[in-house]
Amino acid sequence: MKRKQASTFFEEILNVPRPSGAEDQIAGYLVHFAQMHNLSYEVDDYSNVIIKKEGTHPYISEPVILQAHTDMVCTSEESYDFFKKGIPWTLKNGYYETNGKTSLGGDNGAGMAVILAILADPSLEHPPIEAVFTTQEETTMNGAKNLNYKHLKGKRLISLDGTEEEKIEVSCAGMASMTIRLPYQTVSSDKNTYQLSLSGLLGGHSGVDIDKNRGNAIKIMANMLKDLEDIEIVSIEGGSKENVIPSDGKCIFKTNYDFSGEYQFFKKMYQSEYETIHMDFRRVKSRQTALRNKESRNLIQFLYEIEDGVLRRNDVGFPITSSNLGVLHSDEKEIKIELSIRSSIVGYEDFYVSRVERVSKKYHLKFVLEDKKPFFTFQEESPLRQLLVDTYHQLFHKKITLEDVHAGLEGGIFANNIKPLDICVIGVNLFHIHSIYEQAEKASLERVFTWLTETLKKMP
> DSSP secondary structure string, 176-227?
EEEEEEEE---EE--SEEEEEEEE-----BTTTTTTS----HHHHHHHHHTT
Q: What domains can be seen in the chain, in order of their start residue?
A: 6-173+375-458 (3.40.630.10), 175-373 (3.30.70.360)
Lowest-confidence segment of 209-213, 261-265, 375-379 by average pLDDT: 375-379
In degrees, to the nearest 5, what angle opens at C-alpha 98 toward C-alphas 240 and 278? 50
Q: Read off the pLDDT of residues 299-347 as tens digits, 9 standing for 90 and up.
A: 999 999 999 999 999 888 889 999 999 999 999 899 999 999 999 888 9
The overall pTM is greater than 0.75: no
Over residues 381-405, the pLDDT tens digits come to 999 999 999 999 999 999 999 988 8
What does the pLDDT read at residue 91?
97
Give the CA radius of gyration of the chain: 24
**Are 29 and 12 contacting, i.e. CB atoms less than 8 angstroms apart?**
yes
**Whole-number mean pLDDT of the chain?**
94
